[in-house]
Amino acid sequence: MSQLKTAFLFPGQGSQVPGMGREFAESIASARAVFEEADRALGFPLSKLCFEGPAEKLQLTANTQPAILTVSVAAARVLEENGVRADFVAGHSLGEYSALVAAGAMPLAETVRLVRKRGQYMQEAVPVGFGAMAALLGLRPDAVEEICREAAEGEVVSPANLNSPGQVVIAGHKPAVARAVELAKQRGAKRAILLNVSAPFHCALMQPAADRLAQDLDAVEIRDPRVPVVNNVDAKAVRTAATLREGLKRQVTAPVQWEKSVRTLLSEGCGRFIEVGPGKVLTGMLRQIDRNVECLNVEDSSSLIETLNKLLKNTQLSC
């Protein structure tokens, strides 16, 4: 039998779409139970927002974060119910919370409430229109850091997401980000584009949100995970509750080390990756990092069936 290890990857903000999770909730009791628990925890029908939208309400950060988490956890429960279990988990930004719930480190109800507050704190940390984010493609991280230093001019701009080779997202004050975009174009970036986001995540401007969230994180229950969690800030396999908690506190202002996280999973022997939750954003990044690994995803009934069939076929081939 193959000793290939499996990693579950959980998406972050930006993967939301009206209708997400509906098929699972309508047809699978365990998934329906996840949505019902989230609705009770928040005191309003988050499930209706996931299933029906409207998109503009779903895109509000305080709604997006618990919505994506709930859909992702429901998909993970369905996978486990079908005998598919992770050896490691990781999540992109918000997705790290989904990973912790899936790994048994945090209870769903508390986590849904926590990430709703996280979304509120992040939105309130910077006035609307004051900050910005941009994607720079085709430049090395050290070149992006140099561009940010030059573009700052006393303001904040820094790498926010180091996603894959040649894909770095920056965040900070709007004028500084605009200057960095122009510099990136001058220095050979394949693309340098401002992103349609509501706040400049994962930079120093998020410190007010980090301070507020730290108090909530100290009060929430976190246990040692059943499987290791590769965290965003250190890109290391974490096995203790204390380290997970500290990582979540630092994550708000620190860049997401996604490429390093995937390379850590590869070094731990993971050769099969399943994106668990809405969209295929992480699958696309994964293929940019290593085209040789097995990339699967589960977000609805058809992708579940396709993934289970591929896993069955590959298991038979490796025996």
Cα 101 → chain centroid: 13
Catalytic option among 93, 158, 198, 261: 93
Per the annotation, the verdict on 318 as an active-site residue is no
Catalytic option among 15, 72, 92, 202: 202
Do 297 and 283 meet the contact criterion of CB atoms below 8 Å apart? yes
In this structure, the dihedral spanned by the alpha carbons of residues 285, 286, 287 and 291, taken in order and rounded to 10 degrees, is 160
Per the annotation, the verdict on 173 as an active-site residue is no
Q: By three-state DSSP, how is residue 319 classified?
A: coil
| Selection from 134, 145, 163 nearest residue 261 by Cα | 163
Number of Cβ within 10 Å of residue 114's Cβ equals 23
Backbone phi, then psi, for 182, in 5-degree steps? -65, -45
Edge to edge, the sheet with strand 167-173 lists 157-164, 167-173, 131-137, 191-194
Catalytic residue numbers read 93, 202
